[in-house]
Amino acid sequence: MKRTMTIFSLALLSLMAALALVSCQKKEPVSTGPVTVIYYTWDDTSIKPMIDAFNASQSDIFVDAQYLPSPDYETKITTLLTGRTEMDAYMQKRQVDMFPHYDNGFIEPLDDLLTRTGVNRVAVDAYKNSLSVDGKIIAFPWRGAAYYTYFNKKLFADKGVPTPDTYVKAGTWTWDKFAEVAKQVSSGDGKIYGASVYHWGSSQLIMESQHQKSIISADGRLDYDDGIQRWLSIRKAMEAEKSMWPLVDMKVTATHYSKQFYDGQAAMLIIGEWFPGQILAGRDQGVLQGWGWNDWGITRIPSDSDPYVTMGAPTFSHVTSYAKNKEAALRFIAWMGGPEGSKMAAQSGVLPAMVDDDVKQVLNQSVPDPDSLNYFIEDKIAFPMGYNKYGSRIENLINTLQEEYLLGKIPDSQFDGSLKAGLEEIINTTN
């Protein structure tokens, strides 16, 4: 019996040793290749080439890009975040959405990651005020911030009307001058409009942004003046005389602002810093109708006061709070906003968050003339509208009010009361 137990014990020990060896072998590190970063963004022509270039530039990180349709990106990305869809980082399309996203715990603060990785943070420091909540940096920018007047030189020449930069140089590019010039260059029958401002609620806040009013302050106080109503009254008059592309028509027909400009039906377009990239894409796709690459320009938006103020907030990306690869995700979005990504952004025709001499050289090829480049990169105040937790709801309110006002459902005498009531409701019902 004792001999049997000894043999059994020896066999058991041998089996345990074998299992331990197998276990140790299983724990040996196995090469798995690059770290994969799952990144969500929308189908913008300037973004995919940048991601492809990053993936080609190194072998440590691979960005698995998930492209969502642009028109409903804001809704879909919020739904995905709420459902904790696997995601290491994402781009923010409507910048003010970062406030509710952060409050809901979707976004990882970047301060510790920035320190730990030592990535180039010039772009972060340039736009720090637009990237911080409660003193914490929560985003990394790749695109700069500004709205401009884009104009079709050929349409102005056909009418014998000076281009908008002429009035900028003379110091007379006011909103009244903008309306006057738009009427002069319009066909008057709806075939060519002198100007177009897109139907986004935020785009109707340009004049108010120049007053540097937040509409609702971060601490919940009303902070606006007559800029919103004044702009909409100007727009309404311009639409009536067919010098401004009708906002409701844009919504009903789903006509994108780029198509208006591509087709040579809008002499002026007030839109953001990304638009040169869309003109580049239009040129390369052969969809510019009746005009060519040298027939357009960039200048300031109209302004009634000094110093000059435009509207805008940088476009940026976040690392998700539940990301599996936070450090790799930061390294990628920092690359987008660093020297390499900035040159790629410039090549795509957008204003990078970081502009140095190398970037300027690239931008020379992405804008039509030296004057346009100077206006594109000049130092300026870019004021972000509604830049706090109330911002998303403010834009939704303006979306509703602008349509009702332009359709005559809200008379001038009632507009301010409707706006104030809507803003007060937002203050009282926003956590």
Residue 24, domain member (yes or no): no
191 and 259 belong to one structural domain: yes
152 and 185 belong to one structural domain: yes
262 and 205 belong to one structural domain: yes
| Integer CA distances (angstroms), 127 to 100, 246, 381, in order | 20, 34, 12
* String of DSSP letters for 329-358: HHHHHHHHHSHHHHHHHHHTTS-BSS--HH
Q: pLDDT tens digit string along 330-375? A: 999 999 999 999 999 999 999 999 999 999 999 999 999 999 999 9
CA-wise closest residue to 186 among 241, 261, 107: 241
Residue 3, domain member (yes or no): no
What residue numbers bound the domain in which 102 lies? 35-143+314-355
**Mean pLDDT of the 173-184 span:** 98
**Mean pLDDT of the 84-94 span:** 97
Report pLDDT for 16: 45
Listed range (196-200, 292-296, 387-391) with the worst mean pLDDT: 387-391
Residue 7, domain member (yes or no): no
Split into its structural domains, the chain has a count of 2
More confident residue, 44 or 227: 227
Residue 202 three-state SS: helix
244 and 320 belong to one structural domain: no
217 and 202 belong to one structural domain: yes
What does pTM read for this prediction?
A: 0.85
On average, the pLDDT of the chain sits at 92
Q: pLDDT tens digit string along 1-31? A: 444 444 444 443 444 444 444 444 444 444 4
More confident residue, 9 or 423: 423
275 and 393 belong to one structural domain: yes
293 and 233 belong to one structural domain: yes
Residue 213, domain member (yes or no): yes
Report pLDDT for 81: 98
CA-based angle 390:395:398, to the nearest 5? 120
Share of the chain above pLDDT 90, in %: 89
Kindly report the CATH number assigned to the domain that includes residue 235: 3.40.190.10
153 and 246 belong to one structural domain: yes
- Tell me the pLDDT band of 46, cut-offs 50, 70 and 90: confident
134 and 261 belong to one structural domain: no
159 and 293 belong to one structural domain: yes
Residue 14, domain member (yes or no): no
Report how far residue 327's alpha carbon sits from residue 429's, in angstroms, rounded to the nearest whole number. 37
**Mean pLDDT of the 282-298 span:** 97
Sequence-separated (6 or more) residues with CB below 8 Å from residue 228: 204, 205, 207, 208, 215, 398, 419
More confident residue, 134 or 138: 138
137 and 160 belong to one structural domain: no
399 and 346 belong to one structural domain: no
